[in-house]
Structure 1
């Protein structure tokens, strides 16, 4: 089967997976739902057609294995996630799974010296239970049993949802893979950013996944009448917050990190009342964990200085933290070799500002990622789009990546 035909088949399968959705006019596929079950049943069928042995693990991930005659060798794992955010695009997650299945179908007649496993992680986005990486964390040996009591918006716990899905919550730990039995973890993913498009490149090699810290920040002043309190005597929490937000943007630029205020709420707001209380969120990211650890407290000090100057009080609560994870230098080089061979162009190295299953899989194996250009960098949006010719390049790169990790050089169909 020719590469162009295989790429077209991947694109058609993307649309099929998009039909497994809880939204009638959009894509929503959350963990342990009927849509999850339907999507994984379809993926299992495609895995079987590619000659893979299939199974579902104890957390609901769908696996397919290209079996090797050398089971004593560590296994190569290739994967991504099958779940989505609400009103999602079709490519974030599923593209990486379908490329892996297609690559192993192309290698169906090749005897590799190790097993190759494709995995569709059942939850990366955290849409249903508001906690991310539920699919890959147990596989990487990082399962927290306390999560079984976490509830969705309907009051259903993860443990209850697992039982309804036919899983045994007590056996989640059995999904763990051993580091000594894992050769490497590879993931192909849309970039979710505009860099590759700006450089007119179909793919790029990922250097690291950025670490992140998230905070909820409360600013308190004094509410008052909008018409009777002179400006110099006000303790306006919203004006103080506005200055803080401008400070955050300038700080991020100066320190070469990214920082985002995504939510801002004026408590007890009224058109004729000076805002007395404001809460806003802060998301800080860097591919350097040292820089992230340095910048977060320094920025908080600057925000506190603004509050003090304005006669406000400020408190903050850290609500999330993820460590920055570098990609394997060795795998970056192998990716670069196959990308240069496939494109004939200089290789673009870029960091990921978004989190991925690869972050936790790096705890048990070398990890390497390939990004695929997406239109205007749009993701988590129905306008998310990838070109078929870029999918063909990514597929070629993945096939040759698998072969490059193997002494086998037999041809593909």
Structure 2
């Protein structure tokens, strides 16, 4: 498939398929699709129909991942995995995750009967967002063989991951069979950027060089609640002013550290009355950077600042680490090949860092991974107004098709 009109038609079909899947939702009028909810069956059916038209037999593994395989004529060939996720946050947009899966199908459609010296395993991961169980990447963990350790994790209703798998109609006893075995040559994920950088730079596509590591913490400042009118300023132990000082310290440190982002997304003063000095404040801290040593150094610095603020103000300061994910660099060889494909299609291949987590973060710790971003209009994601441009979808298809050809040349030269 080389004609411009055919690429445009395929880009339109990709967007139409995303719209069809958006209708598969737990909440009428919204896009909400959590791990192994009933509407996920309907989402898979939409993908099944397109896969069947390409002569591919789709299947669900025991973790609920949707999978389809395009076999090479060489039975001993290595496998390229193309994937992203099919679950969503509550009241989501239509493209986060889903677009990458559908682009994979469209790419196989574009290949037609063109032989490849490697197998292609297309995966729509059942879970990436962490909404239902508070733990992300259940689908990709299953692919790499580490999901078994999560089977006893329970959701808000008390149902465990193992029970959710059974409720969906799958056999948790076959979870080990979800692991991809054999010689895997790499992983490709296509995903909307979910941020404003590409749009600000007037670029359709972005070459991801690394996925930022993350530290998420719960922090608490405790002082003494007291009457707002009768307690002089110099005798107060105000937990909120202490927490506010740390919030500003985090912002200042991030502004002065290239690539570091720091977010306090939740701050709860107690007792929460307008005429009472806050005696306790709970807040969250989210730190991200492409280099773990920078992120961890910043975290140590901010915790030291928190201790100092507490001493100066007569408070106590405690912290609890909720989540830590190591930074994941993309594979240099695959990334260089993807960059070559971008330039050949007329797109700059300036590297960028993903501040959001993706399945490539998990898969890239096991197999070589590369990641291609598509521009997010308005920098908007995790929102019903999330969108993507048809011209960017076409650009991603052309670029990824060229990447597959370059990868084929590399494999044949081995």
TM range (shorter): over 0.9
Aligned to 1:220: 222
TM-score if structure 2 supplies the norm length? Answer: 0.95
SS in 2 for 1:65: strand
RMSD: 1.4
CA deviation vs aligned residue, 1:141-197 (integer Å, no higher than 9, x gap): 22243x22222222222111111112222321221123x511100000000111110
Partner residue of 1:190 out of 189, 192, 198: 192
- Number of the residue aligned with 1:297: 300
**Which sections of structure 1, spanning at least 5 residues, go unmatched?**
none
The offset of 1:408, in angstroms, is: 9.6
Higher alpha-carbon deviation: 169-178 or 84-93: 169-178
The CA distance in 1 between the partners of 2:9 and 2:165, in whole Å, is 38
Matched with 2:177 is 174
Deviations 1:259-311 (A, max 9, x none): 10011111222121100000000000000012122221121101211111111
Give the structure 2 partner of residue 268 of structure 1. 271
Match of 1:200 in 2: 202
Counterpart position of 1:277: 280
Q: Give the deviation of 1:345 after TM superposition.
A: 4.2
User: How far off its partner does 1:211 sit?
Assistant: 0.3
2:339 equivalent among 336, 340, 344 = 336
Q: Counterpart in 2 of 1:41?
A: 45
The count of residues paired between Structure 1 and Structure 2 equals 406
User: Alignment partner for residue 246 of structure 2, among 244, 247, 260?
Assistant: 244
| Deviation, structure 1 residue 47 | 1.5
Q: Distance in 1 between matches of 2:211 and 2:410?
A: 31
Worse overlay, 133-142 or 208-217: 133-142
Shift of 1:348: 2.4
After superposition, give the CA deviation of every residue in 1:175-224 in whole Å (9 maximum; x if it has no partner): 1123x511100000000111110111100100000000100001000100
1:117 matched to 2:121: yes
Q: Distance in 2 between matches of 1:267 and 1:408?
A: 61
* Structure 2 unaligned spans of 5+: none
**For the residues of structure 2 that align with 1:141 and 1:16, how far apart are their CA atoms?**
31
The offset of 1:330, in angstroms, is 0.9
Q: What residue is the counterpart of 2:60 in the other structure? A: 56
Identify the residue that residue 107 of structure 1 maps to in structure 2. 111
Does the alignment pair 1:160 with 2:141? no
The question of whether the paired residues in 2 share the 8 Å contact of 1:112 and 1:408 is answered with no
Q: Is the 8 A contact 2:62 2:165 kept in 1?
A: no
Q: Give deviations 1:299-328, integer Å, cap 9, x for gaps.
A: 110121111111111000000010100001
For residue 28 of structure 1, what is the aligned residue in structure 2?
32
- Counterpart check, 1:360 vs 2:398: no
CA distance in 2, matches of 1:95, 1:245: 36
Deviation of 1:248 after TM superposition, in Å, equals 0.7
Q: Is the 8 A contact 1:53 1:67 kept in 2?
A: no
CA distance in 2, matches of 1:41, 1:137: 23
CA contact (8 A) 2:96 2:382 kept: yes
Look up the match of 2:317.
Answer: 314
Cα distance, 1:395 vs structure 2: 0.6
Q: Is the 8 A contact 1:82 1:94 kept in 2?
A: yes
Once residues 314 and 193 of structure 1 are traced to their aligned partners in structure 2, the CA distance between those partners, rounded to angstroms, is 33
